[in-house]
């Protein structure tokens, strides 16, 4: 199979622009966004088109916010061609997988993906970065085509079920963004005696706070395992605080010690 004709990207934000710059090396790329940013499309070398035309490409990448995915699919399914492939790029996978399987016609193939990179992490290239595939309704031939495409660009392919992905993501990406946002509320800056570890912390703060609040909210809201992660994080924080001041928190400290003994 040769998917060298056209592909489209719906959602032309920071990640959509990065994806367009990658795909244009091998594809004729069409893009669409609610913001008509034709200037950026022209600079990258892709065509800004209507929503309807973007939906008629053989392969469609959805680079929209998680919360916008279902409304976009409800509208897109009226224009998709039989045999086309739809891929999402959301940072959670259970919810997008459910929505795609529910909304897309059976004649349309579906592959849930999570690129584990973005404009910041990919600024020095893609080699060694990773992307998660969660095959939903896609032929082996097509799956292999896109696996080979990303491998040519240096990516490592990880295949998971949507549930496996979200369990792992809650305690990696989810907790990273949460801690980064919490620390971002503090006025932290490099100083004369800053350590390398502190510089790394500032890097996490900068990276996570560079993303939109909408992305952070959706990461926490649409992953079914992030609530558990947040609860455990709060308990861990309280445990440390109680152990620092055991005389001020005798009851809580005793409960924490009892919990450790039971483990």
pLDDT of residue 1: 43
For the chain, which residues make up each domain, given as ranges? Answer: 6-161, 165-262
Q: Which pLDDT score is estimated for 37? A: 81
Residues 6+ apart with CB under 8 A from 155: 117, 126, 129, 130, 131
pLDDT at 5: 82
Q: E strands along 160-238, which residues?
A: none
| Alpha carbons 23 and 25: distance in angstroms, whole number | 5
User: Once rounded to an integer, what is the mean pLDDT over residues 99-126?
Assistant: 95
Q: Quick one: fold of 6-161? A: Rossmann fold (3.40.50)
Instruction: Order the strands of the 85-88 sheet from edge to edge.
Output: 47-48, 28-32, 6-10, 59-62, 85-88, 109-115, 130-137, 156-159
175 touches 233 (CB < 8 A): yes
79 vs 249: CA distance, rounded Å: 62
pTM, entire model? 0.88
Q: pLDDT value at position 121?
A: 87
Task: Please classify residue 193 by burial: count the beta carbons closer than 10 Å to its beta carbon, then call 0-12 exposed, 13-18 middle and 19+ buried.
Answer: exposed
Q: What is the pLDDT of residue 120?
A: 84
131 SS3 class? strand
Whether the per-residue pLDDT at 142 is higher than 90: the answer is yes
Measured between alpha carbons, how far is 46 from 8 in angstroms, rounded to an integer? Answer: 10
Is the pLDDT reported for residue 199 higher than 80?
A: yes
Q: What is the pLDDT of residues 29-79, one digit of tens each?
A: 999 999 988 999 999 999 999 999 999 999 999 999 999 999 999 999 999
1 within 8 A of 83, measured Cβ to Cβ: no
- Give CA–CA dist 182/178, Å, rounded: 6
Structure confidence at residue 230 as a pLDDT band (50, 70, 90): very high
Chain-wide mean pLDDT for the chain? 93
Q: How many residues does the chain have?
A: 263
pLDDT given at position 223: 98
State mean pLDDT over 125-136: 97
């Amino acid at each position: 199979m040769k998917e060298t004709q056209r592909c489209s990207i719906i959602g032309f934000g920071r990640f959509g622009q990065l994806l367009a710059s990658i795909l244009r090396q091998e594809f004729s790329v069409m893009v669409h966004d609610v913001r008509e940013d034709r200037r950026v499309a022209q600079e990258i070398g892709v065509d800004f088109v209507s929503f309807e035309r973007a939906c008629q490409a053989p392969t469609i990448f959805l680079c929209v916010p998680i919360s916008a995915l279902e409304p976009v699919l409800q509208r897109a399914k009226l224009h998709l061609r039989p045999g086309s492939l739809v891929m999402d790029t959301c940072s959670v996978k259970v919810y997008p997988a459910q929505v795609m399987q529910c909304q897309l016609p059976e004649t349309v193939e579906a592959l849930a993906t999570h690129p584990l990179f973005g404009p910041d992490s990919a600024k020095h290239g893609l080699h060694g970065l990773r992307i998660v595939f969660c095959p939903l309704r896609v032929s082996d031939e097509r799956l292999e085509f896109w696996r080979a495409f990303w491998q040519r660009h240096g990516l490592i392919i990880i295949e998971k079920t949507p549930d496996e992905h979200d369990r792992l993501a809650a305690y990696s990406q989810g907790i990273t963004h949460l801690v980064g946002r919490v620390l971002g509320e503090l006025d932290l800056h490099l100083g004369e005696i800053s350590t390398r570890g502190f510089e790394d912390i500032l890097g996490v703060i900068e990276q996570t706070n560079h993303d939109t609040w909408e992305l952070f909210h959706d990461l926490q809201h649409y992953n079914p395992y992030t609530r558990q992660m947040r609860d455990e994080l709060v308990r861990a924080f309280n445990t440390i605080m109680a152990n620092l001041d055991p005389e001020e928190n005798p009851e809580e400290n005793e409960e924490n010690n009892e919990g450790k003994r039971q483990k």
